[in-house]
């Protein structure tokens, strides 16, 4: 039985969260009946898990092809998209094929976009191997590639058939990548669940030790919040926008610094602190809220401020291009307390200059 379910009517799908899914031969990936499996992964994840996953599908009588891309946000591009498309056409892959995204958020986003576009849509599933992808990007059907003028500006909403989360993959995750994933975890507490935020504050040591029980609860709680929000607002017309806390500032940091120089989670962490400080400036939160957010982010070795070489005008230039901007007005997700947030569009450039400079 699945751990969770994303309720989207006929496009609903399960999320399995278990330690050892990839090595458990009794787990049969029932949601993947396709005769042809195309595993898309990267050159860091491949040595760790590719043989395990490909042999599992081969033992089930499936034809298996593999596409291995370079690791990193710098390769989440239209060039990589075209490279994968060319490989699928050369195989050739038919409409009955299924793409398996094996890796972190970059692989998941790119693979999902390929699946959405190849022959106007083929099945895909997510096997996320990083904390950030397990708690956030693998769930919800946002797929995209980056452009020099904006992050995730070219993509599609396209839901997977299933998400398979093996907690054991977090044991091989570098500390910096694990910390980056914690930014998205903390986000859920700030925007939706104050009790979960408090639980995170109380369990910092266990999380850093990668205690299996703590990680299982943490990942499941994040996925449940994400699944509930996506079920209410799949295409981000209202409540789903709250999931972008910190992202408007964070995306500006990533675009200005060059994709991959700041990890996505690092940029979002700094963005969440900036957003909370902006909320304080507006009188929406109190100083204690700002201090709690900053302290929890610091506890996981994440930045609490943006790069020193970025001015307010630099942020504003990028934020006006952000896909959340509407009618040339910047929109921001700001907390109203620990556990609640809102979308606002009345932040002036003067307020941003005062805050950022």
- Active-site choice (36, 56, 76, 142): 142
Question: Annotated catalytic, 321?
Answer: no
Q: Tokens 């191997």 sit at which residue?
A: 129
Q: Is 240 a catalytic residue?
A: yes
User: Alpha carbon 280 to chain centroid distance?
Assistant: 27
Residue 36 annotated in active site: no
- For the question of residue 277 being annotated catalytic, the response is no
Catalytic residue, from 36, 76, 240, 331: name it: 240
Q: Which residue among 31, 73, 184, 277 is the active-site one?
A: 184
Exposure string over 165-188, b if 16+ CB within 10 A, otherwise e? bbbbbbeebeeebbbbbbbbbbbb
Q: Is 184 a catalytic residue?
A: yes
Q: Which two tokens stand for residue 139?
A: 């769930």
Considering the candidates 56, 151, 226, 292, report the single residue annotated as catalytic. Answer: 226
Active-site position among 36, 62, 192, 251: 251
Instruction: Please tell me which residue in 62, 76, 187, 247 is annotated as part of the active site.
Output: 247
> Does residue 146 carry a catalytic annotation?
no
Please pick, among 264, 292, 318, 331, the residue that the annotation labels catalytic. Answer: 264
Catalytic-residue membership of 142: yes
Question: Which residue is catalytic, options 73, 234, 236, 277?
Answer: 236
Q: Please confirm, yes or no, whether 226 is among the known catalytic residues.
A: yes
Query: Is 171 an active-site residue?
Result: no
Q: Which of 146, 151, 244, 254 is catalytic?
A: 244
Give me the active site residues, please: 120, 142, 184, 226, 236, 240, 244, 247, 251, 264
């Amino acid at each position: 039985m699945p751990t969770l379910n994303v309720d989207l009517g006929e496009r609903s799908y399960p999320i399995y969260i278990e330690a050892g899914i990839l090595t458990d031969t009794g787990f049969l990936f029932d949601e993947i009946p396709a005769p042809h499996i195309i595993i898309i992964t990267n050159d860091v994840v491949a040595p760790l898990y590719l043989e395990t996953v490909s042999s599992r599908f081969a033992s089930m009588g499936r034809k298996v092809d593999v596409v291995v891309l370079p690791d990193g946000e710098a390769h989440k591009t239209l060039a990589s998209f075209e490279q994968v498309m060319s490989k699928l056409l050369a195989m050739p892959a038919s409409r009955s094929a299924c793409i398996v995204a094996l890796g972190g958020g970059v692989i998941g986003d790119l693979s999902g976009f390929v699946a959405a576009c190849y022959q106007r849509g083929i099945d895909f599933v997510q096997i996320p191997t990083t904390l950030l992808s397990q708690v956030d990007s693998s769930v919800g059907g946002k797929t995209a590639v980056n452009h020099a003028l904006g992050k995730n500006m070219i993509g599609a909403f396209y839901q997977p058939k299933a998400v398979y989360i093996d907690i054991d993959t977090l044991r091989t995750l570098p500390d910096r990548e694990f910390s980056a994933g914690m930014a998205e975890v903390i986000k859920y507490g700030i925007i939706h669940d104050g009790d979960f935020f408090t639980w995170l504050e109380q369990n910092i040591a266990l999380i850093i030790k990668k205690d299996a029980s703590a990680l299982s609860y943490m990942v499941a709680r994040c996925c449940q919040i994400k699944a509930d929000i996506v079920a209410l607002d799949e295409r981000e017309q209202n409540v789903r926008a709250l999931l972008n806390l910190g992202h408007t500032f964070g995306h500006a940091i990533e675009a200005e610094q060059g994709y991959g120089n700041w990890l996505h989670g690092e940029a979002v962490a700094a963005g969440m602190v900036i957003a909370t400080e902006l909320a304080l400036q507006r009188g929406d939160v109190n100083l204690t809220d700002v201090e709690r957010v900053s302290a929890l982010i610091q506890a996981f070795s994440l930045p609490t401020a943006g790069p020193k070489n970025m001015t307010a005008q630099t942020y504003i230039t990028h934020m006006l291009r952000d896909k959340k901007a509407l009618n040339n007005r910047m929109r921001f997700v700001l907390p109203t307390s620990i556990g609640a947030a809102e979308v606002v569009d009345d932040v002036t450039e003067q307020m941003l200059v005062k805050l950022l400079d």
